[in-house]
Amino acid sequence: EDMPSLKIVMEHISTKEAVEYVKSAPDNVKASITCHHLLYNRNSLLVGGIKPHFYCLPILKRETHREALLGAATSGSNKFFLGTDSAPHPVENKETSCGCAGIYTAHAALELYAEAFESVGALDKLEGFCSFYGADHYGLPRNTGRTITLEKKEWTVPDKYEFGKSVLVPLRAGDVVQWSIVE
């Protein structure tokens, strides 16, 4: 309240309480949300044994939190925008007794966001969330002259990507993503 022109971003929110706080906060307070927090809950990390490639910080939470995040992201509110937090770690740093936190999503971030938005019938809100609200908050010009087109076309994510002298395991390794970027 003392500094209304200070731009505040709560990066990578992961709880329904954070959603409610940002909704009720002054207009200078916004939040970013990752695609993995929109698509997965703690069961993805824990059921059937700990899955290190789903370990991230903030950690995946209960389904009620995922649902609140998805509702906020797809609401059309300019208080919420894309924050990929894609974190590439070599496989040996993830699959260890004290693994690194982070999920690698850069290979399919927009496609994964499209899946999340489509799941609640809100594809019409995807462009604002991904392209406008963050730039607007930071006072940056919106991109012009270049567009990205997504199409509903499945593709299988590789099991791994080369990463220096090692490899990294991406989100959805060996599994299908429902959307593709048109070249």
Point out the residues that are catalytic.
Answer: 85
Environment class of 106 (CB within 10 Å of its CB; exposed 0-12, middle 13-18, buried 19+):
middle
Tokens of 75: 């609401």
